[in-house]
A and B are shown apart, each in its own frame.
Chain A
Amino acid sequence: MFYIHQSSCISAQQTFANADINRLLEAVDNKLLVKEPSYDGIPTGILRRMGKAIRIGVGTALPLLRSSADPVAGIIIGTADGGMEDCIKFLNQIIDYDEGMLTPTNFVQSTTNAIAAQIGLLSANKSYNITHVHRGLAFENALLDADMLVKENATASYLVGGVDEISTYNYNIEHLGGWYKKEPIAATGLYSSGTIGSIAGEGAAMFIVNAVKANALCKVTGMHMLHTEDKQVVSEQMKLFLDKHLPVAEQVDLLLTGENGDSRLLHYYTQCEAVLNKQATVARFKHMTGEYASASAAALWLVTKILKDQDLPAHMIKYASTKTAYNRVLIYNTQKGKQHSFILAERTNLK
């Protein structure tokens, strides 16, 4: 697919500046809210008008764009809901004021494409600009788009990322749907709860990608998406995916899954773990990021860091294999047991 040259992430953990993923920061009120930085370089007046999804999207993207040697030839964002807080604020005004005269700020901020649009605007970038919103596969479609762009223009670099926020409102909607735990839950107790629902999360992760191997952080070698509720189909697709994308005689060293503490979804994850037959270390990340539609973007950021540093925090490990190096990492994630994805990444300083 392509090489990752830069990455950035705003999450509920210390991932943005002086990243330290070994120290686990806890959830508050069943929510893993992002730790927002000071956003140096974004004018205060503009920052004040931005909703959180746009802030964290722009905040992760702009530093990468500033330090990129050439302007990127495309801005590709995956987000299920974009600026949900502004969206429902505007909706509430419509109802509360019975469609009276409203101010358009929340409306303009709430359009799902506003994150990519603001990144384009603030970096004066007039090239390809798109927003993929296919719920749990929004970020994966952004990766696929970037893959095609890199093939179509091998000399250019692209910005690709995933962003979603917890708003009061989508928290309520997901909570009503039974997707968050009703009982108080600590992030550290997420996987042993045995109950339905997960812990709410949010975040933004951005990547500069291109076709150039030199000085890359890692390489994304394959990605596959599917829609099914049948775990057999998922594991069969996983085998086919690995047959297609793993070099002959090579193995996955680390499986990073989106296991999220929801007892209804656990069987998808254990089914995929079984495919690797204890040959790979198994790790989890949703206790760090919480559950949200584009959480796989944060997973890819973590994988980029793990491949580079060769350091896997103990709190992420579910099962430790005998592997001593992490050369190839597979991410498996499912959104509510209906949308599934596999992302395969490898070290670029492999002999």
Chain B
Amino acid sequence: MSRIFVTGMGCISAIGNSVTENRRALIAGTCGIGPLELFPTRYASLLPFGEVKITNTLLQEKLQAREPGLTRTTLLALHAMEEAIQNAALNSQQLNSFDTALIGASTVGGMCLTDELYHDANKTENGSAYLSSYDCASVNIYLQKRYAVNGVINTINTACSSSANAILYGARLIKNGLAERAIVGGVDSLAKFTINGFNALHILSPDKCTPFDEQRKGLNLGEGAAFLVLEKEEGAAGKRIYAELTGYCNSNDAFHPSSLSDEGDGPYLSMKGALDKAGISPDAVSFINAHGTGTENNDLTESRAMLRLFDDVPAFASTKGNTGHTLGAAGAIEAVYSILNLAHQEVYGGLNFNQPIAATGLKPVQAYVKKSLQHVMSNSFGFGGNCTSLVFSKTSS
């Protein structure tokens, strides 16, 4: 089976509008979490968020995307996909090929337009311009049409692991001979739906999140998008190769609709499965970009699962302190960060950490450091017990 190489990346988040800007912010330890400036909600001044500080109007102008019915979710995705395509130098012939797949992921889709949706769902006349924009698929259906991508097109929603599964699905399409290349990623924008949902579950922190800290108070919601271009070894010849996707695994915790089991069965199984797929032993992992949301449940469970799997837990940290939790985009954004780790042989420190969780004693990396890295794991765990781990590896060239 073919090897899978990453030949392009695009990313937009609260800490930058491009991969380069994101890397610069990660090196500097920039926190993009703070008061809302653009998104209207009664929690705007009460809770901190990882907001992308670009208006929809500006995004529409920059991207020349003025069709009626476009949502912020679609605009953020378009921004990241455009960068990834440019970065991989895919031409229109390649984009239009029946061998090019486009796999996206989102949990909110067009439901960021809460007030319009409220109107359309409860009225029987005067529909808005957004009638076909609310579902998760609306994002990728727009991207497919805009770029005339003709291979397998799909949208995945496995809650907070959605875009990690988009990456996994694209890789498997290539491995199974169903695509030569796959544009894979995910997006979510801030929405009253998720803000109020997570708030009702009492897992939003009133302060900036503190992943893996004993005193952590919950997560901060963020928004953003990221896409990768995956190509099989043959197609990537002569191109800049950022990393190889060597391992991936999806497993389910099968414990509770909105929290993980005490021993972290799902996280343990997804991490172990990804290592098995990559054909490497636990001690070969150089660094883990942890899911690390800053909630009581996730950080304890993920730590326990790491302690179960690794005799010596490798260096790890969470970038949620930089970006907030971007839900369906998180897996793809953090895949970009993991690939940057490998491509530049560097690790970005987790922010706001003071005190290890008493039950585990694990300390994340807390400052930028150059480090020799061979294999980097990226974890994404979601509601419904949906756990997915990816392993990216340094290519020899």
Q: Which residues of A contact B (CB under 8 A)?
A: 75, 80-82, 87-88, 90-95, 98-99, 101-104, 107-109, 111-114, 116-118, 120-121, 123-135, 137-138, 141, 144-145, 147-148, 151-152, 168-170, 172-173, 175-177, 225-227, 338-339
Contact = CB atoms under 8 A, between A and B. Distances in A.
Contacts of B140: 134
Given A91-B118, A114-B257, A173-B134, A130 B158 contact: yes
Contact of A129 (B135, B158, B258): B158
A90 B198 CA distance: 12
B250 A128 contact: yes
B156 interface: yes
A123 B255 CA distance: 10
Contacts of A116: 158, 384
Interface residues of B, number: 68
Nearest to A114: B384
Interface stretch (B51-59, B124-132, B336-344): B124-132
B193 A90 contact: yes
A172 B136 contact: no
A103 B251 contact: no
A116 B252 CA distance: 10
B122 A172 contact: yes
Given A129-B250, A137-B153, A176 B120 contact: yes
B186 to A, nearest CB: 12
A90 B153 CA distance: 30
A113 B252 contact: no
Given A94-B114, A99-B43, A117-B386, 6 more contacts: A112-B136, A126-B251, A131-B156, A131-B157, A132-B155, A227-B153
A76 B46 CA distance: 39
B383 interface: yes
Contacts of A227: 141, 144-145, 150, 153
A95 B114 contact: yes
Contact of A92 (B122, B158, B169, B266): B122
B118 A95 contact: yes
Contact of B42 (A82, A99, A144): A99
A217 to B, nearest CB: 24
B311 interface: no
6 contacts: A112-B107, A132-B154, A134-B154, A176-B124, A225-B152, A227-B141
Contacts of B136: 112, 133
A126 B265 CA distance: 8
Nearest to A226: B150
Interface of B: 41-43, 107, 111, 114-115, 117-118, 120-127, 131-132, 134-138, 140-141, 144-145, 150, 152-159, 165, 169, 172-173, 176, 178, 192-193, 195-197, 199-201, 250-258, 265-266, 269, 382-386
A268 B389 CA distance: 42
Contacts of B176: 147-148, 151-152
A107 B127 contact: no
B221 to A, nearest CB: 13
A148 B141 contact: no
B114 A172 contact: no
A144 B383 contact: no
A107 to B, nearest CB: 4
Most buried by A among B126, B145, B155, B199: B155
Contact of A126 (B150, B201, B269): B269
Contacts of B121: 88, 91-92, 168-170, 172-173
A142 B60 CA distance: 33
A134 B192 CA distance: 23
A129 B159 CA distance: 12
Contacts of B195: 99
B259 to A, nearest CB: 10
A163 B292 CA distance: 32
A98 B42 contact: yes
B169 A145 contact: yes
Most buried by B among A114, A134, A135: A134
B340 to A, nearest CB: 27
B145 A121 contact: no
A313 B252 CA distance: 41
A80 B135 CA distance: 7
A121 B258 contact: no
A101 B200 contact: yes
Contacts of A169: 121-122
Contact of A81 (B107, B135, B173): B135
Given A126-B251, A177-B127, A113 B383 contact: yes
A24 B156 CA distance: 35
Given A108-B257, A127-B252, A172-B123, A144 B152 contact: yes
B178 A104 contact: no
B154 A113 contact: no
A111 B192 CA distance: 14
